[in-house]
Structure 1
Amino acid sequence: MQNDQPGMNERPEMRALVLEEFGTEPVLRSVERPTPGPGEVLVRIEASGVNPLDLKIKAGAAGHARVTPPAVLGIDLAGVVTEVGPGVTRFDVGDEVYGMAGGVGGLPGTLAEYSAVDADLLAVKPARLTMAEAAALPLALITAWEGLVDRARVGEHDSVLVHGGAGGVGHVAVQLARAHGAKVFATGSAGDLETIRALGAEPIDYRAVPRQDYVDKYTAGEGFDVVFDTIGGATLDSSFAAVRTYTGRVVSILGWGEHSLAPLSFRGASYSGVFTLLPLLTGRSRAHHGRVLAEAAELIDAGKITPILDPTPYHLGTVEEAHRAVAEGTRRGKVVVQVGGSAEPPVSRG
């Protein structure tokens, strides 16, 4: 039971989903509610988006995320500021915010009722979105922005190819590129093509259409100005041969393998990698995340970016089911866990 009237040196409790060891299911526990420190705000979390990275962390297969159990899972959030720490001037109590706020590098995750968050990582929630919709966006939105806007400098008249255009990052990238005036093409499986078309991109069935055929058809053999890869592996290799000579830019969010740069070099084109977790892991450039989310909120409220959500309801007591839906690929959009208002009781105490 949550302690609503703490003593002088006692904080109230909250519920949080705690990963006690890798390879196990996290446990719903009662833990002490955090206090915001300098530069932080306390956020009452209303919703938390589920990312494939959460599953890798849970399995112990994400060393780059630097998580040591016991740890609270969850990376994205949307919620309401309830306390403001020393030195914070950008937010007030009652502000609705969203952000990629923790869950890696020793930062507490967002599958909890409250989190003390570095204010630099947050922005005011787009008014047009529900809490669940806002919680679905931060990691995907920042990743797409860093690739397309920061690295590729996408703009009007650019032709952009998004690999995996119906995926969590891909469907945001398609909309972001279009919002910047680009003509967008996107690959996907046969079942993804209608979603891609509805997002405003020209769909390409990657299983049915060879790379050279769609490069010839849509660019007269010249290659795309920007290729944004969300798949990695052989798809990234293929991207090097699908980009425009001299001025083309390839950006990948999964460029972690060994790849030959020869095809790219022979075209005189450029490559950039995106590692969205870096500010959370290092503490550097966190304010850039907040600025990206604030700028993106203007596009969202203008109706240019809308997340696709899986309609299945999940809460803190059914996170295992949410993770299973992501792992098995049965979801129909981004999976979001409703945190605020959940009546599920904690199963144990920390």
Structure 2
Amino acid sequence: MSNAPSLMQAALLPRFGTPLSIAPIEVPTLRPGQVLVRIAASGVNPLDAKIQAGNAAHAQARLPAILGIDLAGVVEAVAPGETRFVAGDEVYGMTGGIGGVPGSLAQFAAVDGDLLAHKPRSLDMRQAAALPLVFITAWEGLVERARVQPGQKVLVHGGAGGVGHIAVQIARALGAEVYATGSADQKGLIESLGATAIDYRSLQVEDYVQQYTDGKGFDVIYDTVGGATLDASFAAARRYVGHVVSCLGWGAHKLAPLSFRGATYSGVFTLLPLLTGEDRARHGQIMREAARLADAGKLRILMDERRFTLEQVNQAHALLAEGQARGKLVIDIGR
């Protein structure tokens, strides 16, 4: 039996382009297949700030909205017939905040059990809440789209970023030889993750393709930056077998440079299961893979150590929108 109160505090977005406001609302009731989670921490992602600003139509937010895509917390109750989780389990996942699904900027959430996994033992709640969206995005690109194999040369664009630093570590865990672009001051961080750092400001595409692949190109390229960087990815793919993956395919791009190399492209749209309701169990499975890697000591999350309460969520979103975050930001909700 749940000890949850009848009301909870939540951060609500009443209109796009306005601050989130804290208000008491009813604790959600469970439907079949759902788990009630008492939220300990909510991960902050760039998409959250874009939704708040009204610049993310693809997220299909429905107002008034509870934002927050990632969570970590403790199971409070489970719907009848749910056998994967019991009250007291520590769980995490990418569970809402888009498509009309209430998010994690609240004290409780009713979550589709398919989206959850048991929290890694080696991570605290804050670290766990920082992981789901970026890990799922990186995993879908490298494992499900590109099918990275041991010994392949993998290039990650934006290797010090949210998705990028996780992609580097997944590729390493898969046995790949990993390279990552970044600025000169990110060299130490990228190398600490196990990749060869490439200063994108000082080296042209043809230069680093020649230096690191003898001009043949990379087997797999994961673009986490978009724009001109995606165009550069097309020119850096290995002839015949190269595969380019991007999680930021905005804009107009000429595919001829990729076609001339006989290479291939695929996109990643991590939000799809939440928006469509299809294939949600795959996200829970990916979170179990994340827990396995974390508990094996093969996964490190770059965290911004500044702390924010639910009442301070607008400050966290502003930092993110201004590019001032130093790693993943997390909102402390409570336990």
TM range (shorter): over 0.9
1:155 is matched by which residue type in structure 2?
Q
Secondary structure of the 1:116 match is strand
Determine the structure 2 residue equivalent to 1:63. Answer: 57
Output one character per residue of 1:96-146: Cα deviation in whole Å (capped at 9) or x when no partner. Answer: 111000000100010100000000001010000000000000000000000
Quick check: 1:195 aligned with 2:189?
Answer: yes
Determine the structure 2 residue equivalent to 1:225. Answer: 219
Quick check: 1:294 aligned with 2:288?
Answer: yes
Quick check: 1:26 aligned with 2:20?
Answer: yes
Quote the offset at 1:260 in angstroms: 0.9
Pick the aligned partner of 2:139 from 122, 145, 154: 145
Determine the structure 2 residue equivalent to 1:157. Answer: 151
What is the TM-score when the length of structure 1 is the normalising length? 0.94
Secondary structure of the 1:232 match is coil
Determine the structure 2 residue equivalent to 1:80. Answer: 74
Matching of residues 104-183 of structure 1 within 5 Å: 104-183=98-177
Quote the offset at 1:36 in angstroms: 1.5
Is the contact between residue 68 and residue 105 of structure 2 (CA under 8 Å) also seen in structure 1?
yes
Quote the offset at 1:208 in angstroms: 1.1
Quote the offset at 1:5 in angstroms: 8.9
Secondary structure of the 1:97 match is strand
Quick check: 1:273 aligned with 2:267?
Answer: yes
Output one character per residue of 1:57-96: Cα deviation in whole Å (capped at 9) or x when no partner. Answer: 0011111100121110100000001110123111111111
Pick the aligned partner of 1:94 from 88, 93, 98: 88
Q: Distance in 1 between matches of 2:222 and 2:58?
A: 22
Is the contact between residue 172 and residue 178 of structure 2 (CA under 8 Å) also seen in structure 1?
yes
Quote the offset at 1:228 in angstroms: 0.1
Determine the structure 1 residue equivalent to 2:276. Answer: 282
Q: How many residues align?
A: 334
Matching of residues 35-50 of structure 1 within 5 Å: 35-50=29-44
Secondary structure of the 2:251 match is coil
Q: Distance in 2 between matches of 1:17 and 1:61?
A: 19
Q: Gaps (5+ residues) in structure 2?
A: none
Is the contact between residue 102 and residue 108 of structure 1 (CA under 8 Å) also seen in structure 2?
yes
Is the contact between residue 78 and residue 125 of structure 1 (CA under 8 Å) also seen in structure 2?
yes
Q: Distance in 2 between matches of 1:124 and 1:306?
A: 18
Is the contact between residue 97 and residue 124 of structure 1 (CA under 8 Å) also seen in structure 2?
yes
Q: Gaps (5+ residues) in structure 1?
A: 342-350
Q: Distance in 2 between matches of 1:21 and 1:86?
A: 36
Could you say if the C-alpha distance between residues 130 and 228 of structure 1 is closer, same or farther in structure 2, counting changes exceeding 3 Å? same
Pick the aligned partner of 2:311 from 303, 311, 317: 317
Quick check: 1:340 aligned with 2:334?
Answer: yes
2:118 is matched by which residue type in structure 1?
V
Deviates more, 1:291-300 or 1:223-232: 291-300
Is the contact between residue 11 and residue 23 of structure 2 (CA under 8 Å) also seen in structure 1?
yes
Secondary structure of the 1:186 match is strand
Determine the structure 2 residue equivalent to 1:204. Answer: 198
What is the TM-score when the length of structure 2 is the normalising length? 0.98
Determine the structure 1 residue equivalent to 2:323. Answer: 329
Quote the offset at 1:257 in angstroms: 1.7
Quote the offset at 1:194 in angstroms: 1.3
Q: Distance in 2 between matches of 1:230 and 1:324?
A: 22
Is the contact between residue 225 and residue 243 of structure 1 (CA under 8 Å) also seen in structure 2?
yes
Is the contact between residue 3 and residue 76 of structure 2 (CA under 8 Å) also seen in structure 1?
no
Which consecutive segments of 4 or more residues in structure 1 shift more than 6 A?
A: none
Q: Distance in 2 between matches of 1:321 and 1:26?
A: 10
